[in-house]
Amino acid sequence: MKYIYGNFKMNSTVSDVKAYLMTLVTNTRDEKNEVAIALPYTHLTTAKEYLEGSVVKLGSQNVAEEEKGAFTGEISADMLKDVGVDFTLIGHSERRNIYNESDKSVNKKIKMALAKGLEVVLCIGESLQTKEAGKVESFLKKQLEEDLKGLYENELKSIIIAYEPIWAIGTGKSATTKEIEKTIAIVRDIVAHIYSEKAGKEIVVLYGGSVNPDNFKSILNTKGVNGALIGGACLDANKFSSMIKSL
């Protein structure tokens, strides 16, 4: 089974997404692969209604690290669970880089989400500067060790890792399949080092970063890749459905 996850980022309105979801639900009715979509907070209640009875999983793009309290503007895991959210993205590079979210914060968010019964898509990835300095492995090792700190191996069954090199996100420049295969193998080795060889083999790893209809199949056929986290190319329901169906 492959895992095809879409991330809307800050795009569309609730009015727009209704037609989108009707199309996506219709086009994925008999889908055997896992299809999921991470939407803005404002869309979630409406989306849950439209996705009822479908194979499409519903996710948020972030979650608060605290359970409740005086945190104006934050959305808690309980709130997300209450409106029917299945999973949440955590640690997307845009959250890390634009909003200065640290690995410590990411770690707290993962623990909070899991405690409340939400699945987690943990986003990791290096900058172009790190890549050119030849420090990809050490960077990802530090990121994963800090993000997964204090988590038990059995909790990994509720975590998906999305490897998204920052230099490939929204740039139109995807990593080559050779680069993807090499780095996904590194990610699995790091997980194996932290936990066990079994954990390294079984963890679900997605690739994200300028995934589009032209490179989608070759990326998903790359050794070690379980699926894709798709940004811009998921915003058109028919295009997104066609990519899923091409499998």
Amino acid letter at 118?
L
For 78-105, the pLDDT digits (tens) are 999 999 999 999 999 999 999 999 999 9
Total structural domains in the chain?
A: 1
User: What pLDDT is stored for residue 21 in this prediction?
Assistant: 98
Strand partners, 38: 7, 59
Q: Look up residue 212 and give its DSSP letter.
A: -
Percent of the chain with pLDDT strictly greater than 70: 100
Number of C-beta neighbours around residue 237 at 10 A: 21
**Residue 174 clears pLDDT 80, i.e. is over it:** no
User: What pLDDT is stored for residue 83 in this prediction?
Assistant: 97
Side-chain-side CA neighbours of residue 146 (13 Å): 15
Burial string for 43-56 (b: 16+ CB within 10 Å, else e) reads: bbebbbebbeebbb
Token pair, residue 39, equals 């939407």
Identify the domain containing residue 210 by its residue range. Answer: 3-245
Question: What's the predicted TM-score (pTM) here?
Answer: 0.96
The domain spanning residue 28 has which CATH number?
3.20.20.70
Number of C-beta neighbours around residue 221 at 10 A: 11
Percent of the chain with pLDDT strictly greater than 90: 95
**Residue 123 clears pLDDT 80, i.e. is over it:** yes
Q: Which residue has the higher pLDDT, 162 or 168?
A: 162
**Residue 148 clears pLDDT 90, i.e. is over it:** yes
Cα Rg of the chain, angstroms: 17
- Closest C-alpha to 192, from 202, 183, 200: 200
Q: Look up residue 53 and give its DSSP letter.
A: T
* Mean pLDDT to the nearest integer, 140-146: 98
Token pair, residue 56, equals 């499409």
> Would you place residue 168 in the very low, low, confident or very high pLDDT band (cuts 50, 70, 90)?
confident
Question: Which residues are identified as catalytic?
Answer: 92, 164
Token pair, residue 107, equals 């770690």
Distance CA 172, CA 178 (A): 17
Q: Mean pLDDT, the chain, as a whole number?
A: 96
Phi-psi region of 170 (alpha: psi -120 to 50; beta: other; left: phi over 0): left
List, in order, residues 6 or more apart from 146 with CB less than 8 Å away. Answer: 103, 104, 106, 107
- Asked if 41 contacts 75 with a C-beta cutoff of 8 angstroms, the reply is yes
* Alpha-helical segments (H) within the chain: 14-27, 44-51, 77-82, 93-98, 103-115, 128-132, 136-147, 177-194, 197-202, 216-220, 237-245
List, in order, residues 6 or more apart from 41 with CB less than 8 Å away. Answer: 60, 61, 75
* Mean pLDDT to the nearest integer, 199-206: 98
For 153-163, the pLDDT digits (tens) are 999 999 999 99
**Residue 228 clears pLDDT 90, i.e. is over it:** yes
User: What pLDDT is stored for residue 169 in this prediction?
Assistant: 79
**Residue 173 clears pLDDT 90, i.e. is over it:** no
